[in-house]
Amino acid sequence: MGFNIAIDGPAGAGKSTIAKKVAEKLNFIYIDTGAMYRAMGVYFSRNHTDLSDENAVKEACRTVDVHLTYDQGVQQIWMNGENVSQVIRTKEAGNMASACAAVPAVREKLVELQKKLAETSNVVMDGRDIGTVVLPNADVKVYLTASVDVRAERRCKEYQEKGLNAVLEDVKKEVAQRDYNDMHRAVSPLCQAPDAILVDTSDMNIEQAADAILKLVPSVH
Ligand code: DC
């Protein structure tokens, strides 16, 4: 059994950057579960799958291969033999991920894969349901958040750095909408596990947030 660190929280809280840093410091594997939902989202979008068509979604879940590899420690995500690590990083892929993440068959497929990955390795896994559903017995559980304003500013900056047009007010609405979708879906909604430690990164930089998590890992004190 590996040592498991579960990090959940809303979009833009800095989960992936901070989780990656924690994994690097501990020499653990970083698993970005959002990337898996994004890869499934790209598949459904390309195939024009109607997400309300239960049979079509189930059939896709049975046949689509989504898996991770690591290239010099950097996670690569594959969908049916194609490296989709870059393709999944668009706003549209994020919205498709959020939509398909509400479908039980999609969650079942990905949760099983995620549980297997954590069984034998030391991992830092981030997502929305890691401490509550995927790794309920994780050794360390963190709920990472920040105010909507701070998260929207961070997202906006990210888009602008990628050369995308982004207006702060629009991004704020998008972040709030995504929070609402993720927190109100019927299956595995985003919520803080009762035994998760709350880390609010509104006034923290990446190093400070990573240190706050590392302090929770017994051997790092
Ligand atoms: O973290 P992210 O923005 O890459 O995640 C994309 C979407 O996937 C997000 O809106 C919710 C969903 N997701 C989920 O439901 N469960 C997870 N463990 C990870 C992501």
Q: Each residue of 178-220: pLDDT tens digit?
A: 899 989 999 999 999 999 999 999 999 999 999 999 999 997 5
Asked whether the predicted pLDDT for residue 61 surpasses 90, the reply is yes
Coil, strand or helix: which one is 71? strand
Q: Each residue of 84-93: pLDDT tens digit?
A: 999 999 888 9
**pLDDT value, residue 221:** 47
CA 52, 63, 35, 45 dihedral sign is negative
Ligand 1 neighbour 127 (Cβ under 6 A)? yes
Coil, strand or helix: which one is 35? helix
Asked whether the predicted pLDDT for residue 3 surpasses 80, the reply is yes
> Rg of the chain over CA atoms, in angstroms?
17
Ligand 1 neighbour 41 (Cβ under 6 A)? no
Burial of 87 (0-12, 13-18, 19+ CB in 10 A): middle
Asked whether the predicted pLDDT for residue 7 surpasses 90, the reply is yes
**pLDDT value, residue 159:** 87
Coil, strand or helix: which one is 207? helix
**pLDDT (average), residues 138-164:** 94
Rounded CA-CA distance 58/47 in Å is: 14
Instruction: Pull the structure tokens for residue 132.
Output: 């509550």
Averaged confidence pLDDT in the chain: 94
**pLDDT value, residue 84:** 98
**pLDDT (average), residues 155-159:** 90
Ligand 1 neighbour 11 (Cβ under 6 A)? yes
| CA 208–ligand 1 middle distance (angstroms) | 24
Where is 146: in which H helix or E strand? Answer: none
Ligand 1 neighbour 125 (Cβ under 6 A)? no
**H-assigned helices in 101-167:** 104-119, 148-161
Calculate the CA dihedral of residues 61, 9, 164, 95 and round it to 10 degrees: 30
Query: To test ligand 1's pocket by mutation, which of 16, 33, 184 has the most ligand atoms within 8 angstroms of CB?
Result: 33
**Share of residues in the chain with pLDDT > 70 (%):** 99
Ligand 1 atom with minimal separation from the 101 CA: 15
**pLDDT value, residue 220:** 55
Question: Look-up: residue for tokens 């997502």?
Answer: 127
Note the Cα 61 to chain centre separation in Å: 19
Whole-model pTM over 0.75: yes
Ligand 1 atom with minimal separation from the 110 CA: 18
**Share of residues in the chain with pLDDT > 90 (%):** 86
Coil, strand or helix: which one is 70? strand
Residue nearest to atom 1 of ligand 1 (CA): 34
Ligand 1 neighbour 34 (Cβ under 6 A)? yes
Query: To test ligand 1's pocket by mutation, which of 7, 128, 182 has the most ligand atoms within 8 angstroms of CB?
Result: 128
